[in-house]
Structure 1
């Protein structure tokens, strides 16, 4: 397993001192510089592919547009222009998304983007009840098996939802009769628990929102987590490929000035 300290050390903002030799850096050839540390273990990609077909809440988000600017035959290079909302695909919600005084996406500390990954699974319940919410009891049961949620962790919720992305209509799961979406979320009580009783840096989920689908206009969970300085990740993928505990996640958040979030590449070392 890779620890956040190992990866943070390898990607420190300060350049390494070539005169120092560390066990992590390995043994350099005589006269050369120390070899860079590469985390051992498999890498899992927890990111969906973003395309113009990505399902969006059209009340708030427009579909992505992709326009070709150049092609190899005519221009001697290929290029596209992308137009998309910050909150589309697998993406980060920065604290500023729900707090005028909160950190914008480029201000999230780099050390908070490399974290122990703790995955709470409610797949079976979510299959029976599409509007289920992660509860405090779910978190306590997880801790009874794995110990306290690590300080500085990213807490992710696996509802088995990412498997629906290729089934038309199943990901947003709109209920015409009820007039709302049906997908799982995180309860307000669980959000308060994570903010007040634990010390996580972020909370992620494999559904379209931290909120359950029947209350997109009442973002109570967002209003607890983000103003407390945590970041959120929505639309995670492939959480079934990582263990409940022991992996290290790297959140490739965007870095545009003043951003409230943005599509991200989420990688886990296992």
Structure 2
């Protein structure tokens, strides 16, 4: 076709090409619609309440209804508790004794100030391949059992080599007694050996590992945690529901508050599992927007020290 013949058709061709281009989702939207929308989501995070297990050196946190911190003319006086009836909203005052609370992400600055704090961790931590190594059978025989290199190589013999840059969570069953406060005092407890940590980081080059207990190991000097932090590695603690995710094939989404100079992080880990996985929920299976209305409104319970549905 001669160019002059083609020119009158150009606007129609451009429209057709534009329609075809828009028929396919742009960028990563296609990945979401093809993969993440139908995936199964499993929460690996404990709920923070005033009485969850915490190291005795930190002590318990407290929740209370928020109060006005200053006089607000025609609205509230300093010290007034904000209420739905008087102010149209309520809020909570959290007195958190530590940033080492509940499900956590420990940056290396927790032990080594020359390494990054929680706000200095890169955004690339957001989503990673998830590996879950199960040592529950060993722990049932020896509650103080720690993950060994032999456990890792046995895992790889069955499932393949642990991918570089992945997150490795160690399933021990420790969290099944959560939120019993006595958990924090129970020792020894299931851990991760120093040799296993070195293997995972120096041989497999993982991003970080995580475990169910609130410490890495039960050695007198916490040798595993010391080595991690002083070599620039982060770790997850207090992880939950690892029996609800597959050993391989899932991803983990990682979220945490960005406290300036923070030495620990209240974290939320969500496992993103294949659509045919037996646990979890998919987009569209639960109400999201609008969220469901409850016939039991939240109210502050003085005995529990927190808001609950009554």
| Coarse TM-score class (shorter-chain normalised) | 0.7 to 0.9
Q: How does 1:1-270 map to 2 (within 5 A)?
A: 22=26, 24-26=28-30, 38-59=36-57, 61-69=58-66, 70-84=82-96, 85-167=98-180, 169=182, 171-172=183-184, 174=186, 181-212=187-218, 215=219, 217-270=220-273
Using the TM superposition, give the Cα deviation of residue 195 of structure 1 relative to its aligned residue in structure 2, in angstroms: 2.1
How far is the alpha carbon of 1:21 from its aligned partner? Answer: 5.4
Root-mean-square deviation (CA, aligned residues, Å) is: 2.3
Which ranges in structure 1 are unaligned for 5 or more consecutive residues?
1-17, 28-34, 175-180
| Residues matched between the structures, number | 235
How far apart, in 2, do the equivalents of 1:168 and 1:229 lie?
31
Compute the TM-score of the two structures, normalised by the length of structure 2. 0.71
- Kept in 1: contact 2:105–2:265 (CA 8 A): yes
Instruction: Extract structure 1 runs of 4+ deviating beyond 6 A.
Output: none
Structure 1 length-normalised TM: 0.80
Q: 1:258 & 1:219 partners in 2: Cα distance?
A: 23
In the superposition, relative to structure 1, how do residues 106 and 21 fare at CA in structure 2: closer, same or farther (>3 Å)? same
Pick the structure with greater CA Rg.
2
Tell me how far apart the structure 1 counterparts of residues 34 and 132 of structure 2 sit (CA, whole Å).
30
The aligned residue for residue 13 of structure 1 is: none
- Cα distance in structure 2, aligned partners of 1:92 and 1:42: 23
The 1:23–1:112 alpha-carbon spacing in structure 2 relative to 1, beyond 3 Å, is: closer
Deviates more, 1:61-70 or 1:131-140: 61-70
Question: Normalized per residue, which structure has more helix?
Answer: 2
Q: Is the 8 A contact 2:53 2:181 kept in 1?
A: no
- Cα contact 1:206–1:235 (8 A) shared by 2: yes
SS at match of 2:271: strand
- Quote the Cα distance in structure 1 between the aligned partners of 2:133 and 2:84: 47
1:154 and 1:229 map into 2 onto residues whose CA distance is 15
Match of 1:32 in 2: none
Secondary structure, counterpart of 2:209 in structure 1:
strand
Change (3 A) 1:193 1:36: closer
- Distance, in Å, in 1 between the alignment partners of 2:211 and 2:35 is 30
Asked whether the equivalents of residues 172 and 208 of structure 1 are also in contact (C-alpha less than 8 Å), the reply is yes
User: How far 1:182 moved relative to its partner?
Assistant: 2.4
Structure 2 unaligned residues grouped into runs of 5+: 1-21, 67-81, 274-310
- Would you say the 8 A contact 1:205–1:234 is kept in 2? yes
